[in-house]
Amino acid sequence: MTGTEDMAGTARDRPEDFLTVRDLRVHFPTDDGLVRAVDGVSFRLQRGRTLGIVGESGSGKSVASLAVMGLHSGGPARISGEIWLDGEELVGASAERVRRLRGAKMAMIFQDPLSAMHPFYTVGAQIIEAYRIHNDVRRSVARAHAIDLLARVGIPEPASRVDDYPHQFSGGMRQRAMIAMALSCDPELLIADEPTTALDVTVQAQILDLIRELQAEFHSAVIIITHDLGVVAELADDVLVMYAGKPVEYGSATDLFDLPQHPYTWGLLGSMPRLDRDRSERLLPIPGTPPSLITVPPGCAFHPRCGHTDAVGTACREKVPELTEVAPEHRIACHLGAAQRERIWRTEIAPKL
């Protein structure tokens, strides 16, 4: 119950954690007011494991991951909390130090590879550049490395495609090239922000396979950010569900999909048409729309859309629920009592999913 002691379980330091994020907040002052894009997020991740961060657009997923990468520095963002990467704290570290870690220890791939790649340089030149920042090698060595990487991510005829410009690649190939660039320095932490959202399912499946294989090969820690619960289920070991800048449910992927505990997660699962289930006549949408992060509803931010407030009373509107452990390594932020939650899940939710 005491949030500070056991916020997402990260107070107990575990030496095996490669990345630990504690009570991360990223706020943007704007003309319309303060945007609380990320408001108290904690999680931890070991090497060789994958964390999925899910949530609808605007829930703060990208802002949180950019904070880990140190990519808000110099901007208007106000950042607090702690980010520990391999024993080193990053929120308080110098921008120069974080820049060095980026590329060497951590790398990121984005939804839109075209905007992340430079249009006037060849794909190869960009990979070579990224590699040589952190490795003192001759150009020819870096070029051979770039061709290796392109082959590794499945680009056909890499020795000639290395000299192509990004626009000469298809969407799927660009995404592969960006992964090659991110991998150029064997990062121990790879953050993939909606890496397949712009791609067809067939290409998405290839890219997800690729990320899975590379992770096994390099034993890196991976964060996959997506709004698609199917993608999370394909890759993640643990899942963090975000709503309006806050974590609402955090647990292992199997627990989260087999025994989800938070009303918002129930809503997400009920909204989704699924190929692996009998066809339902009607989907069960979550009513209403996600809130603005400037005027987040008081109490539980989800309360205007939640169908279970009656079982709780006024607390939903008045008191922010803390992320609390409800089963081993399974946490939710909701005022529902354990017995009520169990009853609602068994009688109302599970039969319809």
Partner 1 sequence: MSTPEPGGALLSVSGLRKHFPVRRGLIRHTVGAVKAVDGLDFAVTTGETMALVGESGCGKTTTGRLLTRLLEPTAGSIVFDGHDITHLSQSRMRPLRRDIQMIFQDPYSSLNPRHTVGTIVGAPYRLQKVRTEHGVKRAVQELLELVGLNPEHYNRYPHEFSGGQRQRIGIARTLALRPKLIVADEPVSALDVSIQAQVINLLADLQDELELTYVVIAHDLSVVRHIADRVAVMYLGTLVELADRDSLYAAPRHPYTVALMSAVPIPEPSRRLQRDRIRLTGDVPSPLNPPPACRFHTRCWKAQPVCRQTEPPLVELTPGHQVACHFPEDVPPATPAG
Ligand X SMILES: Nc1ncnc2c1ncn2[C@@H]1O[C@H](COP(=O)(O)OP(=O)(O)O)[C@@H](O)[C@H]1O
| Minimum separation from the CB atom of position 67 to ligand X (A) | 9
Per CB under 8 A, the list member of 31, 289, 310, 347 interacting with partner 1 is: 289
| Minimum separation from the CB atom of position 146 to ligand SF4 (A) | 34
User: Which of positions 284-303 make contact with ligand X (CB under 6 A)?
Assistant: 293
Should residue 131 be labelled a site residue for ligand X when binding is judged by CB under 6 A?
Answer: no
| Minimum separation from the CB atom of position 43 to partner 1 (A) | 17
Angle at 255 between CA 249 and CA 256, to 5 degrees: 40
Q: What CA–CA distance (Å, rounded) separates 188 from 87?
A: 13
Q: How many CB atoms lie within 10 A of CB 194?
A: 20
> Given the complex with ligand SF4, which of 10 and 265 has the nearer CB atom?
265
Residue type, 88: E
Q: Residue 150 carries which DSSP code?
A: H
Beta-ladder partners of 246: 243
Provide the CA 8 distance to its chain's centre, in angstroms. 16
> Given the complex with ligand X, which of 71 and 144 has the nearer CB atom?
71
> Given the complex with Mg ion, which of 10 and 62 has the nearer CB atom?
62
Per CB under 5 A, the list member of 10, 42, 50, 62 interacting with Mg ion is: 62
Q: What CA–CA distance (Å, rounded) separates 39 from 26?
A: 7
- Where does this chain bind ligand SF4 (CB under 6 A)? 263, 300, 302-303, 306, 308-309, 312, 316, 321, 334-336
Should residue 59 be labelled a site residue for ligand X when binding is judged by CB under 6 A?
Answer: yes
DSSP 204-243: HHHHHHHHHHHHHHHT-EEEEEES-HHHHHHH-SEEEEEE
Q: What CA–CA distance (Å, rounded) separates 43 from 81?
A: 12
Q: x/- site string to partner 1, residues 251 to 280, per CB under 8 A?
A: --xx--xx--------xxxxxxxxxx--xx
Q: Name the binder of 302 from ligand SF4, ligand X, Mg ion, none, CB < 5-8 A by kind.
A: ligand SF4
Should residue 201 be labelled a site residue for partner 1 when binding is judged by CB under 8 A?
Answer: yes
Per CB under 6 A, the list member of 3, 48, 58, 304 interacting with ligand X is: 58
Mapping DSSP to helix (H, G, I), strand (E, B) and coil, where does residue 25 land? strand
Given a contact cutoff of 8 angstroms between Cβ atoms, the answer to whether 158 and 206 are in contact is: no
DSSP 82-136: EEEETTEE-SSS-HHHHHHHHHHTEEEE-S-HHHHS-TTS-HHHHHHHHHHHHS-
Per CB under 8 A, the list member of 114, 137, 233, 259 interacting with partner 1 is: 233
Residues near partner 1 (CB under 8 A) are: 56-57, 154, 156, 170-173, 200-206, 208-209, 227-234, 236, 253-254, 257-258, 267-276, 279-280, 282-287, 289-290
Residues near ligand X (CB under 6 A) are: 28, 30, 35, 37, 55, 57-63, 293
